[in-house]
Amino acid sequence: MRIGLLTEGGYPYATGESGHWCERLVHGLGQHRFDLYALGPAGTPRPLPPNARVARTADLGGPDGAPAASGTWSLCEQRASRRAYGRHERRRFTDAYHRLATGLCAEDDETSFADGLYALAELARERGGLPGALRSDDAVRALEAACRAPGARRGAAAAGLPDHLAFAEHLERVLRPLSLDWYEDDALGAADLCHAAAGGTTALPGLLAKRFFGTPLLVTEYGVPLRAHYLSAAGAHRSTPLRALLAALHGRLVGEVYRQAALLTPGNAHARRWQEKCGADRARIRTVHPGMAAERFAEVGEDEESGDPATLVWVGRVEPAKDLIGLLHAFAEIRARQPDARLRIVAVPEREPGGGAYLTYCKGLAAQLFPDEAPGAHAVGENPVTFEELGGPEAPTLEDTYASGALVVMSSLVEGFPASLVEAMFCARATVSTDVGAVVEIIGGTGLVVPPRNPRALADACLALLRDPGRRHRLGAAARARALELFTVEQNLAAFRGIYLELLSHAPVRHRPGDGVPFAHPAEAHVPGSWAHKTVTAGTGAPDA
């Protein structure tokens, strides 16, 4: 089967959890061919297996608003995409853009946005792109008219010219995938299935491939881009009408992707609830937990009693959403009731903007709450709270970090799918976590869960396990068994292996130029087995695997 794998800012160029998942998928499903379509800056790709290749890349931050494709657009094609439209094309563009803007500004109109989007896509395909038109005065005027039309939502009606200009610029960036040259018979048109590693803009090329070629679209989300947009601090300086327009844009785009996808595979029930709230059909949603490598934690997991019985471990990105301040106040109460307790805060190297200032504040708070203590008059004092960085001399690897303590704690206010909890479970460590995101779904009954923003409840739960080694070890063993059953790479690959065959079996068979005969490649031809690899006589219609 030929899979068009759509990624944004990830595999095969960037690092990160999404990139690791794509890499495991491509390497683990060697019976399928993967054509990688990457949105984002190109760099030095990771080594690819024989069944994968980089088909197209496009940096959507190219000059003059044009997608900067890697080895895909010739100079003549780029010039053609910037040619001024004639009267007929301008009328088509204005009408399509106005329909799209009307769908964004109207409260209950969900069809106009999709109609305008596909009309723009068809015009872009015929004309070689839309970058000049999306940045034109016609676009701004069409947007302004839609905002001021009767029935427009209150936030859109309150928008002024600066809001219109800013929104038009943002909309142009979101719609840049319409101007790519990916929608040809030798590109996405040749794929049996489009698999998007996220929703929103990442899935937009797959949405158009379904429109132009009928290619089934599979969308996998281990985070929720719409939720990330709502929580992003980048738009704090924007006006209220502009934020309302941006929320409408991303909501409409995500909703159309969810409606058109053949199947949605969220990584947890938390993401699934977001998808259902955005209009996804429950019958077309199937939860597939992200696969994580368990082998690296096997040695620690088999030694349940390793680690200091009085040490708590926290691992993650240092940012306000992790509520390290609440954790430090909880630990102050733990120390008051168990003076030998210690807390290791281990930060991953990559930090969010502003993470350095937050880390500095937390270190200062720890110094105030826990003055350095010394066992005697001639000894050097030490703080019971240590701040370390993963990869440093005290915390060289995740395995060593989890092995050093008896209990893993998570104090977050907001989470999606916290990978650190699964890693702790692989290491047979009992956990105490706040009830956010997918925590309850991950933990099940193998750890303690407390309300967020409640340091006293966090302290009570930690003390309960610190003082009861037998219970702590039982929970750790149960956690490891649960993680090995639900969250391994093998279960993730097995799920997608079946999903690929299922989707192809329900998709209409398409005869492409160059195929020997119609129906030459049914879904059964991709099932592993010696019978599927026999040479057939041309014209029989049997599988030629």
Could you read off the pLDDT of 176-216 as tens digits, one per residue? 999 999 999 999 999 999 999 988 889 999 999 999 999 99
Tell me if 410 sits within 8 A of 317, measured CB to CB: no
* pLDDT (0 to 100) of residue 8: 82
Q: Given the structure tokens 């930090």, which residue do they identify? A: 351
Tell me if 227 sits within 8 A of 272, measured CB to CB: no
Tell me if 474 sits within 8 A of 460, measured CB to CB: no
Q: Given the structure tokens 């079946």, which residue do they identify? A: 498
Measured distance CA(67)–CA(124) in Å, rounded: 13
Q: What is the CA radius of gyration of the chain?
A: 27
Q: How confident is the model at residue 395 (pLDDT cuts 50, 70, 90)?
A: confident
Tell me if 355 sits within 8 A of 319, measured CB to CB: yes
Tell me if 502 sits within 8 A of 284, measured CB to CB: no
Tell me if 387 sits within 8 A of 363, measured CB to CB: yes
- Residue 304 Cα to chain centre, angstroms: 33
Q: How confident is the model at residue 63 (pLDDT cuts 50, 70, 90)?
A: very low
Task: Compute the CA torsion angle 441, 414, 274, 103 (nearest 10 deg).
Answer: -170
Please list, in sequence order, all residues whose beta carbon lies within 8 angstroms of the beta carbon of residue 123, skipping any fewer than 6 positions away.
89, 92, 93, 96, 130
Weakest mean pLDDT among 78-92, 230-244, 329-343: 78-92
Tell me if 123 sits within 8 A of 130, measured CB to CB: yes
Q: How confident is the model at residue 117 (pLDDT cuts 50, 70, 90)?
A: very high
Say if residue 163's pLDDT is above 90. yes
Tell me if 171 sits within 8 A of 124, measured CB to CB: no
One DSSP character per residue, 138-183 reads HHHHHHHHHHHSTTB-HHHHT--HHHHHHHHHHHHHHTGGGGSS--
* pLDDT (0 to 100) of residue 461: 98
* pLDDT (0 to 100) of residue 66: 46
Tell me if 544 sits within 8 A of 525, measured CB to CB: yes
* pLDDT (0 to 100) of residue 15: 61
Weakest mean pLDDT among 14-23, 167-176, 386-395: 14-23
Say if residue 82's pLDDT is above 50. no
Residue 328 vs residues 307, 331, 382, 398, 520: alpha-carbon distances, Å: 21, 5, 16, 22, 64
- For the whole prediction, is pTM greater than 0.85? no
Report the SS3 class of residue 436.
coil
Tokens at 454, concatenated? 């409640």
* pLDDT (0 to 100) of residue 200: 86
Q: Is 14 exposed, middle or buried (0-12, 13-18, 19+ CB in 10 A)?
A: middle
pLDDT, tens only, 458-505: 999 999 999 999 999 999 999 999 999 999 999 999 999 999 999 988
243-252 burial by CB neighbour count: b if 16+ within 10 A, else e? Answer: bbbbbbbbbb
- Residue 470 Cα to chain centre, angstroms: 38
pLDDT, tens only, 5-55: 999 876 887 666 677 889 999 999 999 999 999 988 777 778 899 999 999
Average of per-residue pLDDT across 418-437: 95
Q: How confident is the model at residue 376 (pLDDT cuts 50, 70, 90)?
A: low
Tell me if 268 sits within 8 A of 417, measured CB to CB: yes
Measured distance CA(180)–CA(201) in Å, rounded: 13
- Half-sphere exposure of 145 toward its Cβ, with a 13 Å CA cutoff? 12
Q: How confident is the model at residue 89 (pLDDT cuts 50, 70, 90)?
A: confident
pLDDT, tens only, 307-355: 899 999 999 999 999 999 999 999 999 999 999 999 999 998 865 555 6
Rounded to 10 deg, the angle between the 204-213 and 240-260 helix axes is 40
What is the side-by-side strand order in the sheet with 2-8? 68-69, 52-59, 33-39, 2-8, 193-196, 217-221, 263-266
DSSP-assigned beta bridge partners for residue 218:
195, 263
Say if residue 538's pLDDT is above 60. no
Rounded to 10 deg, the angle between the 489-506 and 17-28 helix axes is 70
CB under 8 A, 24+ apart: contacts of 510-518: 510/213, 510/214, 512/185, 512/189, 512/190, 513/185, 516/544, 517/541
Q: If we measure between CA atoms, which residue out of 321, 466, 297, 534 comes closest to residue 398?
A: 297
**Residue 125 or residue 394, greater confidence:** 125
Please list, in sequence order, all residues whose beta carbon lies within 8 angstroms of the beta carbon of residue 529, skipping any fewer than 6 positions away.
none
DSSP-assigned beta bridge partners for residue 488:
292
Q: Given the structure tokens 């003055």, which residue do they identify? A: 371
* pLDDT (0 to 100) of residue 375: 60
* pLDDT (0 to 100) of residue 220: 95
DSSP assignment letter at 257: H
Residue 428 vs residues 279, 403, 475, 533: alpha-carbon distances, Å: 39, 9, 8, 44
Say if residue 457's pLDDT is above 60. yes
Q: Which amino acid is at 521?
A: H
Percent of the chain with pLDDT over 70: 82
Pairing of strands 68-69, 52-59: antiparallel
Residue 69 vs residues 45, 56, 523: alpha-carbon distances, Å: 15, 8, 33
Average of per-residue pLDDT across 412-425: 92
The backbone torsions φ and ψ at residue 264, rounded to the nearest 5 degrees and listed phi first, read: -115, 135
